[in-house]
Structure formats: structure tokens, C-alpha cells
Chain A
Amino acid sequence: MKIINEMRLDFWSRPENEALARMVISAFIMPVNPTLEQLGDVKTAVSEAVTNAIVHGYREAKGLVRLRASLDEAGGLSVEIADKGRGIEDVDKARRPFFTTMEDSERSGMGFTVMESFMDQVEVISQLNSGTIVRMTKRLAPAPVLAREA
């Protein structure tokens, strides 16, 4: 599929950048006219992955979080959130609903479940003491048939 736009943003692992990442990804997908539902889904999923990089990856120490995204000509979004933090010991376990390694700081363990419910695909690549990459895709463009009817 032909890529029609691409972006990359690096930011410090500061909590105020959770909102920054949500704003940037919203603005990036705007040109393909996502529904409010799709916009909310993408914002929430990105917020989850960025928050994880900050609170788990770096445990709120200073580090860089990278947000990358691309759009293809069919309205397919691909988005990636990467950190060079602590990494995940057991990814399958981490993805289970309500699993958290930080219960005492009131994490709910629902972050990956939210990402999986709101996006079409979620891939997690992680290595202990080296970092984590979360790659997600979602088809945003409406079905061509419906578009023609309008």
C-alpha cells in the first residue's frame, strides 16, 4: 500500500507529553476525516502506550519517547510508540486484562486491553533493559461504497 504521509516526534518522558502525543496524533489523522469514534479510539490507544513508556519504561526518570505514524492511500493508519526503558519481562502476561506490575501506584492493568479493543492490530516488541516498541494499526477511511452514496 502506498504511503501518503509520515511523521515522527521525539519527546521527553514527562507526563505533560501524554496530552502532546494525543494532540499530535489527532492532527495527523485529521486529513482522512476519521469519525469521532475513530478519533477517540486512536487518541486513547496512543495515550495508553505513551503513558506506559513514561511510567513503566522509564519509571518517570528522564528518557526519550518516540512516536511515529504513517497513513496509506486507503486510510490505513500505522502508529508506533517506542522507549528505551526497562522493557517487559513477559509480554503475554503483561497484555492480560488487569495485569499490572505497579498496583501500588494505582495502575489498573487495562492499558493493553484498551489498545487491543480500540485498534485493529497491536504488536508488542520488548526486551528487558533495552526497551519496548508498541506497533498499532487501524483502518480509518470509510468503505468506498458508502462514500459514493453520500
Chain B
Amino acid sequence: MLDYEKRNGTVCVRLSGELDHRRAEAIRPELDGLIADPGVRRLVFDFAGLEFMDSSGIGMLIGRYKLMRSRGGSVAVMPGGRRVERLMELSGLYEIIEKLA
């Protein structure tokens, strides 16, 4: 169900539509299945097509950040629209998660 690309130890997940509590719960098992492979060192979220996010998305990101970091890996985000970015800034998430150009 997830739209993703896996290459050279990096998994890039493209999220579109709405990232709320329901969606976060729905994608978590598949997401964690993808990064369960110890060869995955970096998880990148592409938010370009994301139309809505609330604090459940923030919780999901912090959770993946903790998971990746516990294995010496990292998480990065390709920014979305104004709405999504406003939430990212409000939560200070870019202090721990890399923002890609």
C-alpha cells in the first residue's frame, strides 16, 4: 500500500493525502516492516504530495526517528506544502530530523 523506493540502504516513502491518527496507525506496520531490514540506514519521507497533517503525524515521525536512531540510522524529510511545514516548525521536529532541499 505504501508508495516507496528502496535503494542503497535508503528507504524513501512518498506520502500523499492526509496523515492523521487513523492513517498513521494504518501505515505503521508496513513502514516498520520496510525498515526492519538491518541494511536500511536511512528513512526519507517525501511530503510533497501531503495535503493534511496533524499532531498524529508528528508522533509517527518521532517514533520512526527513535527506531532509526537506536540502530545508528537517520530520518530525513522532503518538505511538503505550507500547512504541513507549519506543523513541522511548530513541533521543532527539524531540530532532530534533517530537512532536505
Residues of A within 8 A of B (CB): 15-16, 18-19, 22, 37, 40, 43-44, 47-48, 51, 54-55, 106-111, 113-114, 117
Contacts and interface: CB of A to CB of B under 8 A. Distances in A.
Given A106-B62, A106-B63, A18 B21 contact: yes
B41 to A, nearest CB: 22
A51 to B, nearest CB: 5
**Which 6 pairs from chain A and chain B are nearest by CB?**
A15-B22, A108-B59, A110-B55, A108-B58, A106-B63, A106-B59
Given A106-B63, A107-B56, A108-B58, 4 more contacts: A22-B52, A51-B56, A54-B21, A111-B54
A106 B24 contact: yes
Contacts of B54: 44, 47-48, 51, 111, 114
Interface in B38-56: 52, 54-56
Given A108-B59, A108-B62, A113 B21 contact: no
B87 A44 contact: yes
Interface residues of B, number: 21
B47 to A, nearest CB: 15
A19 B60 contact: no
A65 to B, nearest CB: 13
Name which of B52, B56, B63, B82 has the most chain A CB atoms within 10 A of its CB: B56
Nearest to B62: A108
Contacts of B60: 106
17 contacts: A19-B20, A43-B52, A44-B83, A47-B20, A47-B52, A54-B21, A106-B28, A106-B60, A106-B63, A107-B59, A108-B58, A110-B91, A111-B54, A113-B55, A114-B54, A114-B90, A117-B90
Contacts of A48: 54-55
B18 to A, nearest CB: 7
B98 interface: no
Nearest to B24: A106
Contacts of A19: 18, 20, 22
